[in-house]
Structure formats: C-alpha cells, structure tokens
Amino acid sequence: MEGERENYRLEIVRMFRRLDEEGLNYGRSGNISVRIKGEAERYFITPSGVPKATLKEEDILLIDREGNIVEGERNPSIEVKLHVSIYRRYPHFNAIIHAHPIYSLAFAATRKSIPVFLEEMVYYTGGDVRVAEYAPSGSPELAENVVRALEDRSAVLLANHGVITCGPSLEEAYDVLVCVERAAKIYFLSTLVGGLTTLPQETLELEREIYKLKLEGW
C-alpha cells in the first residue's frame, strides 16, 4: 500500500514539472489532486504557497472527503473544497488539474466560453468549455459554481482565474488540459484569419455519443 501511495505522490510531482516545462502553469499557481484507488474517499493534493515545479514527494498531502489532513505537514491547496466537491459529485473522475495556461486564461479573464469548433474537443471535454461564475478562490461558492458548470463536461474555466480539467487518471486530465489550451489558442488565431465556423449539429450529437460511451468505460 505504501508503495502505491508513493507512486501517486511521484506522479503528481512529475506532472507539475511537466506543466511548468510546457508553459501550462507557472510559479505557485495551480493545484493537482488524485483519488486513491481502493481507499474510502481519500485523496492526495498539492500544498499551498509552494512553487509547483519544485515540489517534492513529501510535500504532497493526504486528505479525507471533508478536506481534513490525514498525512502531511504543509497546508493543503486553498482550493481543497473545490477538489473534494468535484469528487463527491462526479465519481468517474479520479484526477483533477487546476492550471493557468495563457490562452485559456484569456477566455477566463473575458468570461467567455470556448465553443466547439474542433471535432476532437467533444471527445476530450464533452462539449463547449463553460465558464464557472466568479467567486473568490477557496470559497464554498466557487466550489458550487464549478461543480455546476462541469455537468456533462471534463473541463471548465474559472472566471478571471484559470482552468479545471478532470479525468479517470492524471494523464487523461492532462490530455484534457492540452486540448483546452490548444482550442483556446486556435480560436484566437482563427480570429486573425477571418473567424471560425462551429461544427454542424449532427456532428456535435455524434461526438457527444462517443463522449458518453467513453464515460461509461471509465
């Protein structure tokens, strides 16, 4: 069991280094959590106020479904309520990434959702990437807003803040993050060459069915 736990911690540490190297996050911003397989609603989560690319395995905290610390010496992420609320509402998610990639933040800052204009988007995100209504970081209101905006989706933008992506594994949550940031960047670039065209309704419906089948397999 201890060996498995260390693997979770190492996975989180490596992921934040990867996000930093790829320009998907920076500095002390962002947080990651992972649901522990086989344990009753316990999760590993990153600490608050630490440069994320310098995290060590011993920095990662173990928390329960209420957000209480079970193991660890640091303070958990300020968004701990948000993480546990998502896990409670959506049991098919086992990993959550909150990051601050540039193009996605442009949409978050303007409070504009990212529409579906690429076929690949629906497979990864479930549809358009909605914007969760603004609330202060770490507040119960923000957790409620995010849970509501995540309905039938794997990603959501936080108004004036960042992006949340979820998946059955940390690697798949990362894939969703990459998809969202690519879509945001392509959307921006498309405005420079005449604007974009959204997908036909029949295509959206077909892609949504594929997404639902993927969820059933999780």
Active-site residue set = 79
CA distance 145 to 122: 21
Q: Could you tell me if 113 and 125 are in contact, meaning their C-beta atoms sit under 8 angstroms apart?
A: no
Contacts of 28 by beta carbon, 8 Å cutoff, 6+ apart:
49, 50, 51, 52
Task: Please state the φ and ψ torsions of residue 143, each to the nearest 5 degrees.
Answer: -60, -45
DSSP-assigned letters across all residues of 2-63: HHHHHHHHHHHHHHHHHHHHTTS--TT--EEEEEPTTSTTEEEEPBSSS-GGG--GGG-EEE
Handedness of CA 184, 152, 141, 23 (dihedral sign): negative
CA distance 98 to 24: 10
